[in-house]
Amino acid sequence: MDLEKQPSALRASDADRDRTADILREALAEGRLTADEHAERIDGVYRAKTMAELQPLVRDLPAAHEQPSARRPAPAPSRPSPGVVPPVADENLVAVLSGSVRRGRWRVGRRTHAYAVFGSVEIDLSEAIFEHRQVVIKAFAIFGSVEVRVPENVSLRGSGTGVLGSYEVDTLDSPDQDAPVVFVDGVAVMGSIEATPRRGKFVRDLHRQLRKHLGH
């Protein structure tokens, strides 16, 4: 798709951001972008609100100017293994005066929405199966908490805001350029959103105590 032909004033949809992220992923795999360049542009993709903000991120890449028929077809999804929860395109986790937990061996969709209203949502990707190179978690915490845990072999990035609350993402860059990228985007109002790599219990507790001691 030639993104330059799109009306630049239009608001970008989730599908537009996902298509742009796919172009960047292909450019990284082909050696057109370095890992640092890819990381910087991916951050821009999921912060973009309009087509005008998406266009400069791929304007210098050939794939952005190809016709849809010329693009490489996406691989067919594999059959779920026994005991593995099948993937969904979008998943909603809602906790209102309650708790919601997603953990274990499950197939992560491209996009997950987490809503915590006077409740808590926990998303643990430690044993999850990634079928997409870019995974987006949109979190909303209102007098509640959203906690995201990722394995240490993926890249973790995020962009968010805390309004009388806290938003914290421990940025992680995997040395493997083919590793999945988890992007956590969120707003915490009198609540908290936290995304960190999964560590052993002793290391995790020590890390939290150190942050509290330093006032972070």
Residues 135 and 175 in one domain: yes
Amino acid at 118: F
pLDDT attached to residue 98: 93
Task: Give me the chain's average pLDDT, please.
Answer: 79
Q: Is residue 85 part of a domain?
A: no
- Residue 188 forms part of a structural domain: yes
Confidence band (pLDDT; 50, 70, 90) for 74?
Answer: very low
Determine the pLDDT at residue 213: 58
90-96: strand order across its sheet = 90-96, 111-117, 134-142, 181-189, 155-163
Cβ-count burial of 67 within 10 angstroms (0-12 exposed, 13-18 middle, 19+ buried)? Answer: exposed
β-strands 181-189, 134-142 pairing:
parallel
Q: Is the same domain home to 209 and 166? A: yes
Q: What is the pLDDT of residues 1-12, one digit of tens each?
A: 444 444 567 888
The answer to whether residues 148 and 159 touch, using CB atoms and an 8 Å cutoff, is no
145 and 177, same domain (yes or no): yes
Could you tell me if 104 and 185 lie in one domain? yes
* H or E element that contains 135: strand 134-142
pLDDT at res. 201: 47
Same-domain pairing of 155 and 59: no
Cα–Cα distance measured from residue 126 to residue 104, given in angstroms and rounded to the nearest whole number: 7
124 and 198 belong to one structural domain: yes
Select from 138, 196, 145 the least CA-distant residue to 166: 145
DSSP result, 101-114: EE-SSBEEPSEEEE
| Tokens (6 digits) for 103 | 């953990």
Q: How many domains does the chain have?
A: 2
For residue 142, the model assigns a pLDDT of 94
Are residues 202 and 164 part of one domain? Answer: yes
pLDDT at residue 62 greater than cutoff 80: yes
The residues that bridge with 146 in the sheet, in sequence order, are 121, 193
Q: Within this chain, do residues 105 and 178 fall inside the same structural domain, yes or no?
A: yes
Output the pLDDT for position 82: 53
pLDDT band with cut points at 50, 70 and 90 for residue 69? very low
Q: What tens digit of pLDDT does each residue of 200-209 get?
A: 444 445 445 5
N-term to C-term CA, the chain: 44
- Cα–Cα nearest to 5, from 44, 51, 49: 51
Chain segment 112-134, per-residue pLDDT in tens? 999 999 999 999 999 999 988 88
Please state the pTM of the whole predicted model: 0.65
Per-residue model confidence (pLDDT) at position 77: 46
Same domain, 194 and 102: yes
User: Could you give the CA distance from residue 13 to residue 4 in angstroms, rounded to a whole number?
Assistant: 16
Task: Please identify, among 20, 39, 70, the residue that sits at the C-terminal boundary of a domain.
Answer: 70
- The span from the CA of 197 to the CA of 215, in Å, is 20
Q: What's the token pair of residue 55?
A: 């266009």
Residue 52 CB coordination number (10 Å): 14
Same domain, 66 and 94: no
User: Does 119 share its domain with 42?
Assistant: no
Position 96 in a domain: yes
Q: Do residues 114 and 152 both lie within one domain?
A: yes
Whether 30 is covered by a domain: the verdict is yes
Average pLDDT over residues 162-168: 92
Helix (H, G, I), strand (E, B) or coil at 86: coil
Domain that holds residue 53: 3-70
- For residue 81, being part of any structural domain is answered with no
